Amino acid sequence: MGHVIVVAEDDARTRDGLGRALTRAGYRTRPAADGVEALTILGNESVDILLTDLKMPGADGLAVLERVRADFPEVIVIILTAFGTVDVAVEAMKKGAYDFLTKPINLDKLELLLQHALEARRLVHENRELKLRLHETSGLKQLLGRSAPMQRLREAIQQVAVTDAAVLIRGETGTGKELVAQAIHYGSHRADRPFVKVSCAALPEGLLESELFGHERGAFTGARDRRKGRFELAHRGTLFLDEVGDMSAASQAKLLRVLQEQEFERVGGTETLRVDVRLIAATNRDLEGLVGEGAFREDLYYRLNVVPVPVPSLRERAEDIPILVAHFLQAFAERWGKPVPEVTSDALALLCRYAWPGNVRELQHLVESMLIFSKGGPIVAGDLPAAVRGEDRGADPGDRAPGASLRDLERQAIARTLVATGGNKRKASEILGIGLKTLYRKIQEFGLQ
């Protein structure tokens, strides 16, 4: 059956002419003599497209457009405009009209435009479908591993997902805390609502507030437009506070206030906003230790840590390593257009014995660089970095995981990757998952070459 088009036009001749032409083209048309009538039709039946004149008695085209955007967001609006009112038509497009046509209407042009508009909408729908499917794959299925610690983790995720309680995810770097947070969100009744991440460590002091709560136009230098904060964006969804242990004292106080009062104002604003968000926080820091030192507020700690979810290190679940290696080999082979190489059993044994201070992320990066440099043959023990082969112990902080500083690990990871990429900084930055600029800066900082 044809798509339904409302033709809103006060000039009866134009209206009837368009109606007849569109009916011939296979559309079901509904005439409306003014904006009010058009809105009534939209309220009564499911309409695909609204063709509307700009100047009509009663509610004119722009007013109708605003109402349609608010109440019937699925409807495509195309503006019909008289010669000389193109400015208004452009304004209409800013307000969400799909396009405009100048009168007298060229019917071929109109039909083409309708086809494009419907096609564009179909793509939007398809995209939404894909997103829904993404929900399914962003859940538990992403978390690979059959070891007992992983099974316990999966159970914990399923149990907390159905509650609305605040969750604190703990675990070393690279263990999959973010995946766990997503699995909780997509397993909850909030799955269709946004999952919004805030990286607390990445935010400079002054920006955290505006990032979390948004700001009004002109609230501070550079605040050119009003902007919604993460709390607002996460409304009815989940707010993921990543690296919450790295927050400054002032930011902690601000966050605590919202959590206690459940309401906030945008920076520079007076309106009090209430949002419904579920909180998930994550950290790889020793929060209890920080609380003891006075570096993390105890009251905030208790608010965030309603349900603790510990994520095991890769060391504690070495039996999952072969599955992860196979998975990452497959994924990166696809990405880089290479065949999936074999891994010899002694290479695999070394991978299973290694301590993995960087956990799954380190494994992932290692597999990727091995794949990039594989020449088609199997991956053998000799292809593995010295640290994994168990050589140069002592010189390699990665082997003494608990004692190594993050800085040492970082320096080492960069150095290793640069060696592995033969000094190719672009490849190295991709493997390390950092920007090229950051890499250059770190190379300087660490005096690497």
Ligand X SMILES: Nc1ncnc2c1ncn2[C@@H]1O[C@H](COP(=O)(O)OP(=O)(O)OP(=O)(O)O)[C@@H](O)[C@H]1O
Which partner, Mg ion, ligand X, none, binds residue 143 by CB below 5 to 8 Å per kind? ligand X
How far apart are the C-alpha atoms of 74 and 77, rounded to whole Å? 9
How far apart are the C-alpha atoms of 120 and 106, rounded to whole Å? 21
Residue range at the interface with ligand X (CB under 6 A); choices 21-29, 223-231, 356-364, 373-381: 356-364
Cβ–Cβ under 8 Å, residues 146 and 60? no
Neighbour order of strands in the sheet with 4-8: 28-32, 4-8, 49-53, 76-81, 99-102
Residue range at the interface with ligand X (CB under 6 A); choices 78-86, 111-119, 141-149, 244-252: 141-149
Among positions 104-163, residues that touch Mg ion (CB under 5 A) are none
Closest approach of Cβ 336 to ligand X, in Å? 16
Q: Is 317 exposed, middle or buried (0-12, 13-18, 19+ CB in 10 A)?
A: buried
Q: Is 133 exposed, middle or buried (0-12, 13-18, 19+ CB in 10 A)?
A: exposed
**Residue whose token pair is 């090229």:** 436
Residue 178 binds Mg ion, judged by CB under 5 A: yes
Residue 144 binds ligand X, judged by CB under 6 A: yes
Residue 200 binds ligand X, judged by CB under 6 A: no
Residue 176 binds ligand X, judged by CB under 6 A: yes
Cβ–Cβ under 8 Å, residues 352 and 401? no
Q: Toward ligand X, which CB reaches closer, 323 or 381?
A: 323
Q: Is 294 helix (H, G, I), strand (E, B) or coil?
A: coil
Closest approach of Cβ 36 to Mg ion, in Å? 53
Q: Toward Mg ion, which CB reaches closer, 35 or 176?
A: 176
Q: Is 141 helix (H, G, I), strand (E, B) or coil?
A: helix
When CB distances to ligand X are compared, the closest residue is 176
Q: Toward ligand X, which CB reaches closer, 145 or 214?
A: 145
Residue 313 binds ligand X, judged by CB under 6 A: no
Q: Which of 160, 159, 156, 180 is nearest to 360 (CA)?
A: 180
Residue range at the interface with Mg ion (CB under 5 A); choices 8-16, 175-183, 319-327, 350-358: 175-183
Residue 139 binds ligand X, judged by CB under 6 A: no
How far apart are the C-alpha atoms of 390 and 349, rounded to whole Å? 11
Which partner, Mg ion, ligand X, none, binds residue 145 by CB below 5 to 8 Å per kind? ligand X
How far apart are the C-alpha atoms of 26 and 418, rounded to whole Å? 62
Beta strand 49-53 with 76-81: parallel, antiparallel or unpaired?
A: parallel
Residue range at the interface with ligand X (CB under 6 A); choices 9-17, 30-38, 142-150, 260-268: 142-150
Closest approach of Cβ 321 to ligand X, in Å? 11
Which partner, ligand X, Mg ion, none, binds residue 174 by CB below 5 to 8 Å per kind? ligand X
Residue 360 binds ligand X, judged by CB under 6 A: yes
How far apart are the C-alpha atoms of 446 and 449, rounded to whole Å? 9
Which partner, ligand X, Mg ion, none, binds residue 385 by CB below 5 to 8 Å per kind? none
Taking residue 228's Cβ as centre, other Cβ atoms within 10 Å add up to 14
Which partner, Mg ion, ligand X, none, binds residue 424 by CB below 5 to 8 Å per kind? none
Q: Toward ligand X, which CB reaches closer, 179 or 279?
A: 179
Closest approach of Cβ 301 to ligand X, in Å? 18
How far apart are the C-alpha atoms of 163 and 176, rounded to whole Å? 21
Which partner, ligand X, Mg ion, none, binds residue 357 by CB below 5 to 8 Å per kind? none
Note the residues at the interface with ligand X (CB under 6 A).
143-145, 171, 173-179, 284, 360-361, 364
Binding residues vs Mg ion (CB under 5 A):
178
